[in-house]
Amino acid sequence: MSLNRPMLIAGNWKMNGLLSEGQALVRSISTSPLADHVEISISPPFTLLHALKEQAATKGFSLGAQDVYLQEAGAYTGEISPAMLVDTGCKYIILGHSERRHIIGESNEAIQAKLKLVWQHGLEPILCIGEKIEERENGTTNNVLVEQLAVLKNAPKDAALTIAYEPVWAIGTGLTATPEQVSETHAFVHQTLQSMEMDCRVLYGGSVNPGNAESLMGCEGVEGALVGGASLKADLFNQIISSAAVVKG
Ligand code: PGA
């Protein structure tokens, strides 16, 4: 595994942000102090992608979307296609987020179909994987991760890809995995990827905040963070960006 890749601090705004709020937030996010080594991306709701495209680009931030539909175009009322996301200037696309898996009921099959399509359009997926609390407690975390990573089995070996390991029990709960759990799980994820002849950046996500960012991102095998709640507050997000620079610097 190569850990010389730039770290990624990816903000997932989820279903938050009106135009004025999004513009103000982007204005207040600091540019990366180590821009070659720490990349910053924001994933606002679809409604703000076009509106924030230039502002984000001017500050050197990458833009990401939070989901996409699994067809190219057509009679799919309410859905968004990969080409539409490319049109807004998106580089990243979050796929398989636990809220989509567990609230919307998204399956690994659907995620696999989306992966294929987004690669065809040159988008880089941030594929989210993670176990539920009962799976951690009954010792089946690794089985769950293997099953979720199996969506990569027909992936082109050189496909642009970032994985985000996000224990479901740590998302939006204020609970975080311990550095030991993070190091151990990231090692397992990297090993599993290697066994599939893939090598890519693996982020940690789940209640990342200024108080834990440095220790979580300092864990072996962690190459950045997917940040939900704390990405909506510029002062918190800025401190997380600074922590990444400390780890990488
Ligand atoms: P959180 O969300 O930082 O609010 O826990 C993380 C995520 O959902 O990606």
Ligand 1, pocket-test mutation among 9, 12, 100, 237, most atoms within 8 A of CB: 12
User: What was the pLDDT predicted at 158?
Assistant: 86
Phi, psi angles (nearest 5°) of residue 9: -110, 110
CA of 171 to the centre of ligand 1 (A): 5
Phi, psi angles (nearest 5°) of residue 63: -105, 140
CA of 168 to the centre of ligand 1 (A): 9
User: What was the pLDDT predicted at 3?
Assistant: 58
Q: Is 229 in the pocket of ligand 1 (CB under 6 A)?
A: yes
User: Where in the sequence numbering do the catalytic residues fall?
Assistant: 97, 166
pLDDT by residue, tens only, the chain of 249 residues: 555 799 999 999 999 999 999 999 999 999 988 888 999 999 999 999 999 999 999 999 999 999 999 999 999 999 999 999 999 999 999 999 999 999 999 999 999 999 999 999 999 999 999 999 999 999 999 999 999 999 999 899 889 999 999 999 999 998 889 999 999 999 999 999 999 999 999 999 999 999 999 999 999 999 999 999 999 999 999 999 999 999 988
Strands 224-227 and 201-205, by their bridges, are: parallel
User: What was the pLDDT predicted at 7?
Assistant: 96
For residues 243 and 209, give the distance between their C-alpha atoms in angstroms, rounded to a whole number: 10
For residues 211 and 216, give the distance between their C-alpha atoms in angstroms, rounded to a whole number: 10
Q: Is 43 in the pocket of ligand 1 (CB under 6 A)?
A: no
